[in-house]
Amino acid sequence: MLIGLAVRDVVLIESLDLAFGPGLTALTGETGAGKSIILDALGLAAGRRAEAGLVRRGATQASATAIFAPGPEHPVWAVLEEKGLGFAPDEDLVLRRTLGTDGRSRAFVNDQAVGVAVLRELGNLLLEVHGQHETVGLLDEGAHRALLDNFAACGPELAACAGAWTAWRSARRSAEVLRAEAARSVDEKEELAMRLAELDRLDPREGEEAALAEERALLGAAEKTLADIAAAGEQLAAESTLHRLGQALRALERARERAALAGAAAEGRPLGLVGEAIAAIERTLAEAAEAQGAVDAAADAFNFEPGRLEETEERLFALRAVARKLGVPAEALPAARVAIAARLGEMEAGEDRLVAADAAAAAAREDYLAAAGRLSATRREAADRLAAAVGAELSPLKLERARFRVAIEPAPEDRAGPSGADRVRFEIATNAGAPFAPLAAIASGGELARFALALKVSLLGDGRQPLMIFDEVDQGVGGAVADAVGQRLKRLAASAQVLVVTHSPQIAARADAQWRVVKAGEAERPRTEVEVLTGPAREEEIARMLSGAEITEAARAAARALMDA
């Protein structure tokens, strides 16, 4: 609710402080007195478009401050929290704006500097203007669905639809995550399968690399040792060595024989030395034979399997090559094999999870479509009731040729949301036989304001509506039609704060409060002032509105009758 408006140096207003109450407040006065200036000032405070021409002549800047008292559940508090602005829900909300002669303005919320867009966002939540040039909210098709839902009182259906939407969105997101993971895993899976096949063929075993390395070292040393033994055996078996020893032995034996034949003394020293030489050579030949046997025995003792070293090296090199390819130590190959197999198992399980997730998403979608369908059915039933209610209001407001309907169309699935899958649009046909069109098709400002009144009265809700301003809603009507407008404004004001700018005595007489806007001051420096009318002063103003410049007793009596009605 608007509780106060302070205006400084706006057009003809030098200084003005107004206190607003609940219900219906009527602004009356002569044409040109400045009633619209008050609305301009309120629009300035609420973030509407402003031009330098609003600054009073001779002043350096204009300012307007609007003080609201929103309830604790009002949506403006959520906006303030979202914008990071300090507030206390149990205190007033102050919107202020200044405007310089250069057209630049500054905006404040509770004395905190903000952008004009923030002020406008808050203003749109706090007040609606229905008049000659604008009908804020009703012309915005984006607001029609919320208005219909409020009329339909479909809170349970909305909550169920929002819950089903959240569940569907969560299920879709889970499936999309798994699908993206599966897509990323295609190449990885192929590579891992190749690696696992290679490891399966290789079949690495725990500790195998170390054992092969040790065996390779032993086999390498054994091979060299056996080669040396073989070389020794070859040398021992060399024909030249044995041949020469044999020749030497035969030569010595011939020498001993010749010496014996020559009669050399058997005990003679020469013959004895020959015998010793023969004995020594015989021993050498015997030991050579013994050495040959020992060498052969040593070679046999090594039991060296031909080609074993080559096989060992091939296996060892194969293990190390695969380890390099995988980027792990050779001793980690068995563990890598287990890990790769496990990862492939996870991928296969992921494919199963994706199938399950897709099924869950499909089920959640069906649940959402069912909830959205129930919400849509509630809306369609309410749309018929709203169309009938608005239709009943049109004739008394001199809109008898107009027809109203609520068009509900299914939105594409990709445009569905927590509030369902319906496009809701208020449409009007201004004349019999004319096609239905958006509300903007109403060309006359007065007709548009009266239609807005008919719709707002039909949409009477829970008392949390914003301040509603009707400017010149009585344009072009009088008598019974003006009285019908007044009745509906009064009904609307029972659950909302309403401000009406009017020339109609029938409307003014039904107001809870009446202010007269007058032009005062000198002709060169006129100024707009507001007089709060009560009692006789109010009766006199309504009589003036009835009779014109000359107020008659009949006009006063008629004014009293209107006020008592």
Q: Is the pLDDT of residue 299 over 80?
A: no
What is the rounded CA–CA span in Å between residue 129 and residue 134? 7
Q: Is 19 helix (H, G, I), strand (E, B) or coil?
A: strand
Pick from 133-137, 424-428, 450-454: least confident: 133-137
What residues have CB less than 8 Å from 419, skipping those under 6 apart?
145, 149, 158, 161, 162, 375
Q: Is the pLDDT of residue 216 over 80?
A: no
Q: How confident is the model at residue 442 (pLDDT cuts 50, 70, 90)?
A: confident
What is the rounded CA–CA span in Å between residue 113 and residue 97? 10
pLDDT, residue 35, reads: 87
Pick from 242-256, 299-313, 423-437: least confident: 299-313
Please, is 184 exposed, middle or buried when counting C-beta atoms within 10 Å of its C-beta (0-12, 13-18, 19+)?
Answer: exposed
pLDDT, residue 191, reads: 80
Q: Is 507 helix (H, G, I), strand (E, B) or coil?
A: helix
pLDDT, residue 238, reads: 60
HEC profile for 395-463?
HHHCCCCCEEEEEEEECCHHHCECCECEEEEEEEECCCCCCCEEHHHCCCHHHHHHHHHHHHHHCCCCC
Pick from 72-86, 175-189, 192-206, 504-518: least confident: 175-189
CA distances from 66 to 42, 116, 158, 565 (A): 7, 14, 34, 33
Query: Looking at per-residue confidence, does 440 or 67 come out higher?
Result: 67
pLDDT, residue 514, reads: 95
What is the rounded CA–CA span in Å between residue 493 and residue 483? 15
pLDDT, residue 506, reads: 92
Phi first, then psi, for residue 317 (nearest 5°) are -65, -35
Output DSSP code: residue 53: G
Residues 146-180 as b or e (16 or more Cβ within 10 Å = b): ebbbbbbebeebbebbbebbebbeebbebbeebee
Instruction: Name the residue among 161, 156, 149 with its Cα closest to residue 461.
Output: 149
What is the rounded CA–CA span in Å between residue 484 and residue 457? 12
Q: How confident is the model at residue 236 (pLDDT cuts 50, 70, 90)?
A: low
pLDDT, residue 167, reads: 96
pLDDT, residue 333, reads: 87
The CA radius of gyration of the chain, in Å to the nearest whole number, is 55
H or E element in which residue 79 lies: helix 76-82
Q: Is the pLDDT of residue 135 over 70?
A: no
What is the rounded CA–CA span in Å between residue 469 and residue 465? 12
Q: Is 86 helix (H, G, I), strand (E, B) or coil?
A: coil
**Strand ranges for 279-438 from DSSP E:** 403-410, 422-429, 437-438
β-bridge pairing 422-429 and 403-410: antiparallel
pLDDT, residue 198, reads: 85
Q: Is the pLDDT of residue 116 over 90?
A: yes
Q: How confident is the model at residue 88 (pLDDT cuts 50, 70, 90)?
A: confident
**What pLDDT, in 10s, does the model give residues 361-410?**
999 999 999 999 999 999 999 999 999 999 999 999 888 888 999 999 99
Contact (CB, 8 A) for 126 and 469: no
Highest mean predicted confidence (pLDDT) among 20-34, 75-89, 378-392, 490-504: 378-392
Q: What is the DSSP string of 92-151?
A: -EEEEEEEETTS-EEEEETTEEE-HHHHHHHHHHHEEEESSS-BTTTT-GGGHHHHHHHH
Query: Looking at per-residue confidence, does 54 or 191 come out higher?
Result: 54
pLDDT, residue 254, reads: 83
pLDDT, residue 7, reads: 96
β-bridge pairing 467-471 and 526-533: unpaired
Output DSSP code: residue 55: B
Averaged over 170-190, what is the pLDDT?
82
Q: Is the pLDDT of residue 443 over 60?
A: no
Q: Is the pLDDT of residue 359 over 90?
A: yes
What is the rounded CA–CA span in Å between residue 24 and residue 19? 13
What is the rounded CA–CA span in Å between residue 490 and residue 498? 9
Averaged over 142-158, what is the pLDDT?
91
Q: Is the pLDDT of residue 136 over 60?
A: no
pLDDT, residue 303, reads: 61
Residue 155: half-sphere exposure toward Cβ, Cα within 13 Å: 1
pLDDT, residue 137, reads: 62
Confidence (pTM):
0.65
Instruction: Name the residue among 343, 72, 322, 345 with its Cα closest to residue 204.
Output: 322
Highest mean predicted confidence (pLDDT) among 58-62, 192-196, 263-267, 550-554: 58-62
Query: Looking at per-residue confidence, does 263 or 17 come out higher?
Result: 17
Overall residue count recorded for the chain in this entry:
565
Averaged over 34-55, what is the pLDDT?
90
